[in-house]
């Protein structure tokens, strides 16, 4: 066995986060109380509060846990000089595969359903997940613009355009429950179309 075994406090913290995740996904944020989570764990609210100050901090830990477990797109290597279309395709597939995971779809649905009463949940999910992915994409696109491989425009806008193209089809319909989750072939087809559209708009004009 390699690596350090987690201590008792870390094991307990993970158990709390796992129980909270199940409760939030089952009942929603507003209908889930710290008391209910403590009851599910067989402990007291005092023990729970020794790890998390309030329900919002606990929900943030759930978001961080899901991003860490399933955020493949945040760990994908983006080579500096690789083929543009190949790198964008790999990135798009990784992004769609990540956000179409049942666990991430369920988390999105909770946040969207509660956004009117608890807008802080949307900011939390954005800052801890999607914003990190957009920043990575933005940095890579800016590098390509500086190299003259893409038109020199606002890299943040370009990143939003690319990621929006990738998410505009099957993901959005599936998030709303209007269509089943796209299979791998469907994901790849959508991303290839997104890459073609993006590069048509952002490649440098011919000399």
Residue with tokens 């606002």: 154
Which residue, 96, 119, 113, 120, is CA-closest to 174? 96
Note the pLDDT tens digit of each residue in 110-135. 999 998 999 999 999 999 999 999 99
Backbone φ and ψ for 99, nearest 5 degrees, come out as -75, -15
Q: Is 207 helix (H, G, I), strand (E, B) or coil?
A: coil
Most confidently modeled range among 52-56, 117-121, 193-197, 203-207: 193-197
Least confident of 12-21, 44-53, 134-143: 44-53
Arithmetic mean of pLDDT over the chain = 93
Q: What is the mean pLDDT of residues 150-159?
A: 97
Note the pLDDT tens digit of each residue in 23-55. 999 999 999 999 999 998 887 788 889 999 999
Please report the pLDDT score of residue 183 as a whole number. Answer: 96
Cα angle: 191, vertex 194, 195; to 5 degrees: 90
Distance of CA 63 to the CA centre of its chain: 9
Q: What is the mean pLDDT of residues 147-175?
A: 96
pLDDT band at residue 73, thresholds of 50, 70 and 90? confident
pLDDT above 70: residue 5 = no
Which residue, 15, 18, 36, is CA-closest to 27? 36
C-alpha span between 167 and 49 (Å, rounded): 38
């Amino acid at each position: 066995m390699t690596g350090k075994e987690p201590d008792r406090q870390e094991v307990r913290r993970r158990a709390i986060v796992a129980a909270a995740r199940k409760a939030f996904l089952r009942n929603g944020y507003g209908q889930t109380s710290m008391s209910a989570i403590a009851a599910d764990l067989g402990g007291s609210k005092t023990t729970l509060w020794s790890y998390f100050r309030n329900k919002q901090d606990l929900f943030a830990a759930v978001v961080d846990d899901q991003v860490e477990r399933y955020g493949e797109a945040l760990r994908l290597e983006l080579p500096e000089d690789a083929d543009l279309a190949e790198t964008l395709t790999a990135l798009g597939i990784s992004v769609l595969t990540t956000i179409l995971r049942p666990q991430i779809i369920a988390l999105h649905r909770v946040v969207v359903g509660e956004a009117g009463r608890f807008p802080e949940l949307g900011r939390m999910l954005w800052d801890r997940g999607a914003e990190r992915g957009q920043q990575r994409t933005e940095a890579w696109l800016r590098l390509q613009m500086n190299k003259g491989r893409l038109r020199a425009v606002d890299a943040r806008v370009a990143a939003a355009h690319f990621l929006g193209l990738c998410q505009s089809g099957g993901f959005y319909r599936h998030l709303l429950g209007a269509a089943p989750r796209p299979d791998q072939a469907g994901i790849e087809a959508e991303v290839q179309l997104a890459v073609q559209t993006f590069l048509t708009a952002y490649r440098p004009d011919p000399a």
